[in-house]
Amino acid sequence: MNKAAGARLKAARKQAGFTPEAAARAMQRSIYTYRSWERGEKFPSNTEDMVALCALFDMSLDWWIRGIEPNNENALKNIPARIKDPLKLLIERLSK
């Protein structure tokens, strides 16, 4: 993991009004484990925990992990062309 993702997790937790202890309880994890996520020492070991944290704190996975704001044009920057081009077309059609 990295320090920036840990800082974003901490910011989202605070915004949601949780203490670290309450977040750890909600996730059914030890405070030690939860704090290691906020310090950026490691990511949760399974995708279920990652998805649950995003839901608990109302944050997107892209924002938490990569720092990309939702609906940001840069979000498409690192997607391969074989996926990006049809995705752009779909987004354009849906936004009309």
CB atoms within 10 A of CB 56: 16
User: What pLDDT score was predicted for residue 78?
Assistant: 58
Q: What is the CATH number of domain 3-68?
A: 1.10.260.40
Inform me whether the pLDDT recorded for 33 exceeds 70.
yes
| 33 contacts 75 by C-beta, under 8 angstroms | no
Average pLDDT of the chain?
A: 85
| Domain range summary for the chain, segments of one domain joined by + | 3-68
Average pLDDT over residues 68-77: 63
Q: Which residues are CB-neighbours of 92 under 8 A, at least 6 positions away?
A: none
Residue 6 pLDDT: 95
Contact 8, 64 (CB under 8 A): yes
